[in-house]
Amino acid sequence: MKLLGYWRSSAAYRVRIALNLKGIDVEHSSVHLVKEGGEQHKADYAALNPHELVPTLIDAEEDLVFSQSLAMIEYLEERYPQAPLLPSSAKERALVRAMALSVACEIHPLNNLRVLQYLTGPMKLDEASKTAWYHHWIHQGFAALEKQLEQYSGRYCFGDNVTLVDLCLIPQVYNANRFAVDLTAYPHIRRIWDNCHQLEAFVNAAPEQQADAC
């Protein structure tokens, strides 16, 4: 299998954590999101992923090329059930997926590179306004998630086992730190960040550990 990603991509980071937790070895290939206007927009990449976003996962054995990090993680979960990332009951799986999607659908897309570029480009916002936009959506999403963590978290986001929620949360926190968001109001999020970083799978998936980090 081959994962086309980028060291700072939160979505690729989610998949890297899943691969590490499950002990799956894949080839990594870098798609530079900024160089020369972004390699994700080049014709050869767009032919693989018409959304022009990373990651893309290729499983040549299955003649499969697809996008969307959560679809990739669910695919890995089905093919490699070791170190499960979803709980065993339907009720708990629903709760885990809902929390994970609250990061992946309600926070991440609003602060994605192309959205921020659109704000400072065609919409003519200055850097301070762009930063205010970024912080606004992080705070709105994290405040809601913090309440859910109050109810559901244990050592990790959902009880004492790592789940899909942690795979979504940790890259989002990494990104929020990069944009200097004050996370003081979110003690559960900060605690879970610390706990996840006790695990090699998370440490090794971090952007700075990737071969294309610069």
Residues of this chain that bind ligand GSH (CB under 6 A): 9-11, 33, 38, 40, 53-55, 67-70, 104, 112-114
Q: Which is nearer to ligand GSH, 72 or 201 (CB)?
A: 72
User: Closest approach of Cβ 182 to ligand GSH, in Å?
Assistant: 22
- Taking the C-alpha atoms of residue 137 and residue 133, their distance in angstroms, rounded to an integer, is 7
Of residues 30 and 40, the one with the C-beta less far from ligand GSH: 40
CA distance 206 to 166: 13
Shortest Cβ 31–ligand GSH spacing (Å):
8
Return the number of the residue (157 or 188) whose C-beta is nearest ligand GSH. Answer: 157
Residue 137 beta carbon to ligand GSH: minimum distance, rounded to whole angstroms = 14
User: Between 104 and 181, whose beta carbon lies closer to ligand GSH?
Assistant: 104
Q: Which is nearer to ligand GSH, 30 or 68 (CB)?
A: 68
Q: Which is nearer to ligand GSH, 114 or 135 (CB)?
A: 114
> CA-based Rg of the chain, rounded to a whole angstrom?
17
Least CB distance to ligand GSH at residue 195 (A): 23
Minimum CB separation of residue 114 from ligand GSH in Å reads: 3
Q: Which residue is nearest to ligand GSH (CB)?
A: 114
CB of 111 to ligand GSH, least distance (A): 9
| Whole-number Cα distances in Å, 128 to 59, 141, 197 | 42, 20, 31
